[in-house]
Amino acid sequence: MPQMRAFHLTWISFCICFFGWFGIAPLTSIIQKDLKLTDGQIANSMIASVAITILARALIGKICDVYGPRLTYTWLLVFCSVPVMAVGLANDYETFFWARLLIGVVGASFVVTQYHTSLMFASNCVGMANATAAGWGNMGAGITNMAMPLILAGLVAMGFSEHIGWRLAMIVPGVLMLVSGVAYYFLTQDTPTGNFAELQKSGVQIERKQSGSFIEACKDYRVWALFVVYGACFGIEILIHNSVARYFERSFSLDLKTAGLVAGIFGALAFFARGFGGYCSDIINRRWGLSGRARTLGIALLGQGFSMLVFANAHSLTLAVASLMCFGLFVHMAAGATYALIPFINKKAIGSVAGIVGAGGNAGAVLAGFLLKVDGLSYGQAIYYMGWFVVAAAALAFLVRFSAEDERVSQEEIRLALLGSPEAALASKTMSVSEVSE
């Protein structure tokens, strides 16, 4: 079915995007030595790779609204495969910085993933569909931390030096992205009933010039509340993917492969934890409505914040790993619960809402990255302050409210789906796309 083809292609493509986006991170110590980079330059390149995604995510949502997720994802994957493969040509800080900046554009893939699954699935399961697709995609960060050191080790075993090995290793995710982009074009469609262009030709009114949707989304306080919330969960998650392997190397004297394994487990938790966050949101929605989804998000954020405080003060390897795993569980659940809310904020501007909130994740990562650069502030202290910020951000989740009409429409879609009429629920969702400009 087109729904399941879209589901599987989105998470596979998103997983590969993470492979390319964070492929540099577990090899940082070798790259730093090879290119003679300072800690500050490494931090700057990390910040650049997530900062550019703020703009990319905000824009990609609007592009999805106009051209549909199928073409948008195809263009994104093909374009971003180039800097991922080309980063190996870097021989100085400036070239490396700009290559990593361009690689960061691939982070916008998250918005397309969430947009596509939001169009494909009905209200009774859209939360779990969104969260699982994103979670299985985020698992790519864990796979990357585990796989890239092994790919490098394999190349070295074949006789390549580390100087050449890390450069060749980055070709692997680049090629995978290129193949994924081609597959996405031929194997998916925009909606359950067809592609945007085809639907328009057949008489279904899908307006391509939705000039007011982005402005309308910007005026909604809930969008900006979730912007901050997503910065507090996914933004910090990105920071951990980029830095925690190096932290374990330096603080607990672990070798590259072992530190990558620990960091990889944190990312691998997304395989089930993000989907579990969406599943909890769907289940609670049936009993307590959309406000129940907001409370689910707030509770997950509180769990994340307090587990971060424990991790920040862990001085033994055992406690550090255990608290990191607990932190990973809640941060993925919070991210999943956030995007279980997105389809209900403004159905006439799903792409714009998803893009703005997604940009908040990267804005949080940028701010957290600057916190790591503060002189005299250790990694643990930075995580400690971030933990209290997450606890404070949880209050914003509890403040998200929905109108009685929003609640009624959501419950009606659930009723239709549970009565065995998912087509009707999906038709309601598809119609929301056609009404964007009304």
How confident is the model at residue 349, as a pLDDT?
Answer: 79
What DSSP string runs through 189-257? -SBTTB-HHHHHHTT----S--TTHHHHHHT-HHHHHHHHHHIIIIIHHHHHHHHHHHHHHHHH---HH
User: What's the mean per-residue pLDDT of the chain?
Assistant: 86
Q: Is the pLDDT of residue 336 over 50?
A: yes
| Tokens encoding 233 | 């969960």
Interval 98-143: pLDDT, tens: 999 999 999 899 889 988 998 898 777 887 888 888 888 878 877 8
Q: Which residue has the higher pLDDT, 383 or 412?
A: 383
Q: Which residue has the higher pLDDT, 31 or 246?
A: 31
Least confident of 313-317, 346-350, 414-418: 414-418
Q: Is the pLDDT of residue 12 over 70?
A: yes
How confident is the model at residue 143, as a pLDDT?
Answer: 85
How confident is the model at residue 135, as a pLDDT?
Answer: 80
Share of the chain above pLDDT 90, in %: 45
**Best mean pLDDT range from 194-208, 213-227, 304-318:** 304-318
Q: Which residue has the higher pLDDT, 256 or 154?
A: 154
Backbone angles phi, psi at 194, to 5 degrees: 140, 180
Cα 3 from Cα 413, distance rounded (Å)? 17
- Structural domains of the chain, with CATH: 2-197+212-423 (1.20.1250.20)
In this prediction, residues 274-303 reach a mean pLDDT of 90
Chain Cα centroid distance, residue 426: 25
pTM flag (> 0.85): no
Amino acid present at 163: H
The residue among 119, 104, 130, 17 whose CA lies nearest residue 70 is 119
Q: Is the pLDDT of residue 421 over 60?
A: no
Q: Is the pLDDT of residue 396 over 70?
A: yes
pLDDT band, residue 420 (cuts 50/70/90): low
Q: Is the pLDDT of residue 320 over 70?
A: yes
H helix and E strand count, the chain: 20, 0
Interval 63-98: pLDDT, tens: 888 889 999 999 999 999 999 999 999 999 999 999
How confident is the model at residue 203, as a pLDDT?
Answer: 62
How confident is the model at residue 172, as a pLDDT?
Answer: 95
R_g of the chain computed on alpha carbons? 21
Q: Is the pLDDT of residue 432 over 50?
A: no
Residues 6+ apart with CB under 8 A from 113: 10, 11, 13, 14, 73, 133, 134, 137
